[in-house]
Chains A and B, each alone.
Chain A
Amino acid sequence: MKRFIITNLLAALAMPMLACIGGWTTNFYLFHIYDEQDFSDRVQTICRDNWKAYLGKSPDDWFWYDADEVMEAAKAKGDNIMVSYVQNLEQYLECARKVSYDQWEYPTKEELAERGKTLQAVRNYALGKLKTRLRSQHALLYMRCNMLLGNHQENVTFWQEIADKYIETVYKEMMKNIYAGALYKTGRLAEAGEIFAEMGDYNSLMTQYYKKRSFAAIRQEYLNNPNAKVLPFLLQDFVNNAQEADDATNPDAEGTGGKLFIRDITKSEALQMRDFCEQVVKEGKTTTPIMWKTAKAWLEYMFADKREAAKDIIAAASLDGTEKMKECTRSLILYITARQAKDSETFDNYLTDELQWLEQNSQYNYVKERVLHQALKRHYAGQPLRLISLYKALGSYEYENYIDTMRTDRLEKYLYFVNTPGNNTLDNYLKSHAKPAPYELEDLIGTKYMRVCQWDKAITWLKDIPKSFYEERGYAVYVANRSWLVEPWITRQFLKNDIEYGDHKWQLANNPKLTFAREMQKMEGELNVLNGQAAAQRCYDLAVRYAQAHFRGDCWWLMHNSKSSEETQREGDSDLAKKAISLLQKASLSQDPELKERALFALSYGELYTKYWYGIVWNNQTYNYDRQPDPEAEQFAAFENLLKFEENRTPAPYVSRCDEYKQFQKLRYM
């Protein structure tokens, strides 16, 4: 019995699909002037808080409306009116749920008639309780029933004559929303729109104005009432949609998440709006000229003269408007300035002030993101140390990736930069906000040297990092439970769920990367002086380690902070799989049949190759995928060599048990 209480009448209206778009972007809309209070979330939160208070729960407790729980509490309190209210609310909600009709059992006429009767009964009950302690709740219930029964005019009258005079509560707010819906349903669109705009009911506004978001429609709204509450919503929607026209040709428009509902706006329509905005400011009828002037500047910037836009946006800052509008103007001044500024200390100082302002106003994180990725990234492209610290200071997703893939010598310079005092305002701000965690960069530099198998340099950077640093890494569970000595082609080191996802604090014996680097340095150094069987065995042992340290190995954490199934060989890093293959090929020349067999078997290990010995093809007959041997694949050749070797002998159990080997054998000779 967990249910939402839905009040939004317009949610039930027939309308085209309005997809709320998610996803990733740095290309956020910057024109946010409409104070969107998100009506639905707000009232639901207050309602939940009210129920929690009634049930004696703490405000932080998790809560989902449960009629049985409320009724039990009400009975315990002897609160009869609450018991009957919840019982009737339940009946209403049950009817509301069935109104969706989206079940296989479509209601019969009789069921619909029964539903109508129930709603009518609940409506009459609610109407009779308007003089009780819970009169607001009952009035809301009455209006809800009317809404489902289609008695919209009754709701209009009820609100105007009775409910409007009630004290301010969340229930009154919900009633007002239903009233606005009833106005809409009875053809009083302008009044409905004003109420939706005032309440921050974005969804209803979008439904009502979905097809009225053109320049012509907005102009008409203005002509009807230059200070209509719906104008900020409409103007915001228009300007941000106009950005889409600009984005189509804008190379900086990377990613697309966080968008509004899009409609095509042509450049000429955007320019018409730009001119109209200027006209509105000149006419002086609006009480919020800053909104129009800012819109003008932003449209000018996107579609016409960027220098003119820079002048306009500065001029907008001195005009009247709400706080939100002024903050929008400030954000746009930052973006437009940062896109055009020349490298100077004046700009650096200005930027520092604005970054501090944004830091104190987390609601504008999207401004920070867009300014960083579309303006500052370019502005500071020639100053990589500043750019990295900007990424870090502003919490950009680019930071981790940037330092992980940048040249090692530059990262060494960055470590020095970030740890020494700055000599100007911007650097001081950045350095104070970009402090890396202890040993974070030292570990990364050491790891980067490991990735290119420069063990001596790696040891220099890793030697002072305590084991506790690795005990706190997310991958500590793998370090503690896996070993690079295990032959991955014979045993995979999968972890049990309770170990892998448990919250145990793992203790390590030592710094694992340092131990690995020292071991590799020693073993490779000795390889040069080994011969014959000892050399072959050493090649095999080194191959095991390389295969484990490879990004598809069980000890991937030696070279990377995380593992992804999408990972591929990175440019500039040593190809550990190739190294393993090369060493195994040497080992496979051994005269020792046991080692030879192990090496040949290891060479057929799929994780060492980018292409498996088979391709996958869809089978229309079996509705399943089939394997189709691919003789071009290196792994195919490796399996062939193994098969040939095993021809006149009994394979070792790890070979004969291997399902890949068996499948190869079967498909090869089909």
Chain B
Amino acid sequence: MKKSIIRMTAALAAMLMTAGCTSRKPRGDYEPGEGNAVYYWRTDLRLDSTERAFLRTYNINKVYCRYFDVVMNDEAEGPMPNATITFSDTLPDGVEIVPTVYITIDCLQKPHEGLAEKLVKRIRQMNETNDISGVREIQIDHDYTARNMKLYYQFLDEVRQAWGGTLSTTIRLHQLSMEAPPVDYGALMIYNTGDPQKWTERNPILDRRDVAPYLRYLDDYPLPLVAAYPVFSWLRTITGVQIEHTVEAPKILEVKHMVEHERKGLSRYIITYHLDKENINRYKPETYEEIYHH
């Protein structure tokens, strides 16, 4: 037992030393450009006519497409892919796909050797098997905390090394107060601002009062950011009960104005979460026009 602890500690120390040698600075010089995008978060890439029309109408040029999740699997004794997407359809010409992988927090509580390489290799194979070409960028979605931030950043370094192309990550509001991650840019998730485990009068998807405390970090955050806004409904589980929430259009726009006031560039590249007929029909076209207003 002691031996394994010593080995683990040594491995950890070695990892930290190595981490200290590599450049961990965010790539502040990346330019995300101007444009509109959506997240695609279903398990089957299949677009109906409404969704295709949405992509056309709002000039969506990028789809951040969830390829799979990485979750802890006790049987396999390590992180495993889960809920892998099926490609029953293709995106319209001219729309870039950004493979996006969500990694649960427990996967990165400790180092997992080779995880970054496996992840990148899998994305490449998925692209090849499904005839998806021209992929330049990938995005990692992970709710890191101060506790596992260093491990996550080390992991991002490894992903960047294995991938070679553009790498982005999601940034939750609470993460703005931390050191910036070593990626090309961050997708600022301006949603899921409430505590998902508690009943409160505030909307857990988005509430101005929950965004306000983080505004002061926006201007100085040393990483290019794009903004992602919620148009989804959320079935959240609170003490075992699932409840459906949505955000009213004026509330989204109010927050958009708030954050853009603090950081002008945030209006340049806009993502909505997520592409789905129900979400499209939830809001009037004017709302989408305003959300995607640069």
Contact = CB atoms under 8 A, between A and B. Distances in A.
A555 B244 CA distance: 50
B44 A14 contact: yes
Contacts of A100: 84
Contact of A106 (B129, B146, B147): B129
A263 B237 CA distance: 11
Interface in B217-276: 235, 237, 239-245
Nearest to A13: B44
Most buried by B among A14, A15, A211, A256: A14
Contacts of B80: 102-104
A108 B122 CA distance: 10
B10 interface: no
Interface stretch (A17-25, A56-64, A339-347): A17-25
Nearest to A263: B244
A65 B96 CA distance: 46
A139 B12 CA distance: 57
Interface string B73-89: 00000001111101000
Interface string B123-139: 00110110000000000
Contact of B81 (A16, A17, A104): A104
Nearest to B233: A264
Contact of A109 (B84, B129, B147, B243): B129
B129 A256 contact: no
B146 A620 contact: yes
Nearest to A261: B242
A257 interface: yes
A50 B114 CA distance: 45
A19 to B, nearest CB: 6
Contacts of B239: 23, 256
A interface bracket (residues with beta carbon within 8 Å of B): 20 to 34
Nearest to B239: A256
A436 interface: no
A607 to B, nearest CB: 24
A254 to B, nearest CB: 10
Nearest to A264: B244
A14 B42 contact: yes
A375 to B, nearest CB: 22
B280 to A, nearest CB: 14
A101 B244 contact: no
Contact of A14 (B43, B110, B242): B43
A262 B118 contact: no
Interface residues of B, number: 34
A14 B85 CA distance: 9
Contacts of A25: 240
Of A257, A262, A263, the most chain B CB neighbours within 10 A belong to A262
A618 B146 CA distance: 10
Nearest to B71: A102
Contacts of B126: 106
Contact of B240 (A101, A256, A620): A256
A102 B237 contact: no
B242 A103 contact: no
B235 A16 contact: yes
Q: Interface majority SS on A: helix, strand, loop or mixed?
A: loop
Nearest to A104: B118
Contacts of A128: none
A107 interface: yes
Contacts of B118: 104
Interface in A612-670: 618, 620, 623
B150 interface: yes
Contacts, number: 79
A109 B130 CA distance: 8
Nearest to B237: A19
Given A14-B46, A104-B80, A256 B150 contact: no
A386 B243 CA distance: 38
Contacts of A22: 240
Interface string A320-340: 000000000000000000000
A261 B80 CA distance: 27
B242 A102 contact: no
Nearest to B81: A102
B244 A21 contact: no
A21 B129 contact: no
A478 to B, nearest CB: 27
A413 B259 CA distance: 67
A237 interface: no
Interface in B145-189: 146-147, 150-151
Contacts of B102: none
A5 interface: no
B281 to A, nearest CB: 11
A597 interface: no
A623 B150 CA distance: 10
A522 to B, nearest CB: 46
Nearest to A260: B242
A470 to B, nearest CB: 37
A499 interface: no
Interface in A108-130: 108-109, 112
B22 to A, nearest CB: 18
A262 B122 contact: no
Name which of A15, A19, A25, A104 has the most chain B CB atoms within 10 A of its CB.
A104
A21 B84 contact: no
Contacts of B292: none
Nearest to A99: B86
A618 B242 contact: no
Interface in A220-267: 244, 247, 256-257, 259, 261-264
A667 B126 CA distance: 54
B68 interface: yes
Contact of A623 (B12, B82, B86, B122): B12
A152 B145 CA distance: 47
A260 to B, nearest CB: 9
B83 A102 contact: yes
Contacts of B147: 618, 620
B290 interface: no
A547 B12 CA distance: 42
Nearest to B149: A620
A378 B84 CA distance: 51
A670 B84 CA distance: 53
B34 interface: no
Contacts of A264: 243-245
A16 B241 CA distance: 16
Contact of B242 (A21, A101, A109): A21
B278 interface: yes
A58 B92 CA distance: 59
A261 to B, nearest CB: 7
B122 A259 contact: no
A102 B235 contact: no
A635 to B, nearest CB: 27
B68 A102 contact: yes
A104 B235 CA distance: 29
A19 B242 contact: yes
Contact of B241 (A13, A21, A104): A21
- A-B interface, 3 closest residue pairs, ranked by CB to CB distance from nearest: A14-B44, A256-B240, A262-B242
9 contacts: A25-B240, A102-B82, A102-B84, A106-B84, A108-B125, A109-B128, A263-B235, A620-B147, A620-B150
Given A108-B128, A244-B241, 9 more contacts: A102-B82, A103-B81, A106-B126, A112-B129, A211-B278, A244-B243, A256-B240, A259-B240, A264-B244
